[in-house]
Amino acid sequence: MLHDNGHVLFVDPGRYYKKIMECVGKDEVVDGIVLTHGHSDHTGAVDDLCDVYNCPVFMDHHDLPLVSPSNAGHYGYSAPVYAPIHDLNEKQIKIGTFSLEIHHTPGHTDGSICVRYKNILFTGDTLFASSCGRTDLYSGSDEKMRHTLDYLKTLPHDLQIYPGHGPASTIGIEVRNNPYMISYF
């Protein structure tokens, strides 16, 4: 979750929407929700938050099948999202007051993205501290993950990463220490 000058942007609100809501100040405005991919542990609170805040939802279109109410249950790790979803097909997007850089990072899923805001990169399940996302689920790809990790190495090494699971890190620390960034098999 990002806070900036009385505005809030949710990133991957997976569960516990009431706990998430407790982090929003009474005078803050929720500008939207960004999803790094379509697995339910990243999308589970979307509909509840949209019911309360009536905010737009953004995700790469390649992951729409994972959250489509008509077929989400077929893919495992997915659950339907009923709120309308806007496609993140731009490299730069402004959502409310938040200017974001979108990095398409397929591998964990075809629609996986990383979201940059200032010197912060939300990596979802693409890159973790000392690991990377699994590629054995629907639309995952070892080859695409290898290319994605090579691409992430080119980003500024002082860029802070906030994965969907586990501790924060930086690109530089991961380039030096993450076995998957050093040599993805």
The two structure tokens encoding residue 43: 């999308």
* Contact present, 152 and 114 (Cβ < 8 Å): yes
Q: What is the CATH number of the domain that holds 28?
A: 3.60.15.10
Q: Which domain holds residue 70?
A: 2-182
Using pLDDT thresholds of 50, 70 and 90, give the confidence band for residue 156.
very high
Using pLDDT thresholds of 50, 70 and 90, give the confidence band for residue 185.
low
Give residue 74's identity as a one-letter amino acid code. H
> Model pTM?
0.96
Residue 26 C-alpha from the chain's centroid: 25
Is the pLDDT reported for residue 91 higher than 80?
yes
Return the pLDDT at 75. Answer: 73
